[in-house]
Amino acid sequence: MESRAEGRSPDRRRAVEVLFSDDDIVVISKPPNLRSVPGWANSPADLSLKGADRAQSERPRLTAQEAWVKAIQKIGSLMAETKPDADQTDGAVNECLINLASTADTSSIPRKPKLFIKYCHRNSKKLFPSYEELHMKRNLEHSNQRTPDEHVRKKRRRGKCNQNDDIPHQLRIHACKCHTLILEEQLPLMNLPKQTEDWESAVGQLKQLGFGEHDSRVLDTNTKHLYVVHRLDCQTSGIMVVARSQAAASVLAAAWRERESVKKFYTANVLSWPPYHEDKEREGVIDLALGPSLTERIKWVVRSAESGGKESRTVWKIRRDLGPKGVELELQPITGRTHQLRIHCATVGSGIVGDSLYGDDPVKWLGEDSGGDADRDTLRLHAHRLIIKHPKTGQEMEFESPKSWH
């Protein structure tokens, strides 16, 4: 598959395959180690970066509040060394920024634009001491020759009073410019990772192919938005459905919540499965409630319902006995908890091969016959079959996607 977007194209091993599309949905097969949706690029600890980018990424992050305070202080110092232009706007902005930086408690200066403007208005005499016209409650412009107080009182009687009526228009302009300049200083200090490029997610690749919201890189001007109905873990491969209209997204989201009209089937490889290897059972049900881990942010754990665990049920059966490489399971999640299949397999057996988060050994399955081509980070969990009803016609549709590993 080739991308029509400019810039870097996806690796063929990480390119989505479109299984079906119409005006309402797109059904794809997602490869392993590809995000379902766009997000943030690798964390600042990304070792693939070099030079200045690496140095930038390794800087400690500041919280939004810490960066805001530091930005005010930094830009205030810069303005104190800069001679403002003859333009009154620049002079008022410079004066405001310098005085903001000299505030006893800069952490009390609000970050939200509306609150920041109100703060500047309340403290106008301190922030704009050289500009007395900004100390008024409100300009007389557009007030039909009434005094500000009279105008505001009338609006209050009609129930249409807005606190912004008291803020002079020119002060609002100066405050907005100050806020923008502080933001420009704040963002680099937060050292946020960059957003992912389109080729780095399944939905992004669909946009490159001409589906989804129109932008300058897409030739088709009649494309629609893409609405994410469900996701697969980055490491998990298999079938995904993306809606192309809000109406289709609403119907599909309801179907996923109600669980009755959506049937999902996964293939998984586990090395040890005691119900089969020890008890000779070929099918069964795992019913273990799950809840977020209290110590590790990204993990979920088995937790009783009394302790806040949510009902989690998975139907399993043996598809193939792989001998020394374990067994191939078919898993049907009845519920859809975070990492449900991975936790259930790790609790009952050895965990899914390649699962570095819950499994026993993510590279144990590699053998001499791997030929050196196997991806040591590949999670052997694949959404191989999906049954849904079309969001517009109600017709039952079944999709299959063969797994990438053998």
Rounded Cα–Cα distance for residues 97 and 128 (Å): 10
Tell me how far CA of residue 374 lies from CA of 35, 284, 305, 343, in angstroms. 20, 31, 40, 24
| C-alpha span between 19 and 30 (Å, rounded) | 10
> Which of these is catalytic: 105, 233, 375, 377?
233
The whole-angstrom separation of Cα 162 and Cα 306 is 49
Return the amino acid letter for 182.
I
Strand partners, 355: none
Our answer to whether residue 233 is catalytic in this structure is: yes
3-state secondary structure the chain: CCCCCCCCCCCHHHCCEEEEECCCEEEEEECCCCECCCCECCCCCCCCCCHHHHHHHHCCCCCHHHHHHHHHHHHHHHHHCCCCCCCHHHHHHHHHHHHHHCCCCHHHCCCCHHHHHHHHHHCHHHHCCCCHHHHCCCCCCCCCCCCHHHHHHHHHHCCCCCHHHHCCHHHHHHHHHHHHHHHHHHHHHHCCCCECCHHHEHHHHHHHCCCCCCCCCCCCCCCCCCEECCCCCCCCEEEEEEECCHHHHHHHHHHHHHCCCCEEEEEEEECCCHHHHCCCCCEEEEECCEEECCCCCCCEEECCHHHCCECCEEEEEEEEECHHHCEEEEEEECCCCCCHHHHHHHHHCCCECCCCCCCCCCCCCCCHHHCCCCCCCCCCEEEEEEEEECCCCCCEEEEECCCCCC
What is the biggest distance separating any 2 CA atoms in the chain, rounded to whole angstroms?
A: 92
Q: What is the dihedral of CA 260, 284, 358, 405, to 10 degrees?
A: -80
Q: Active-site positions?
A: 233
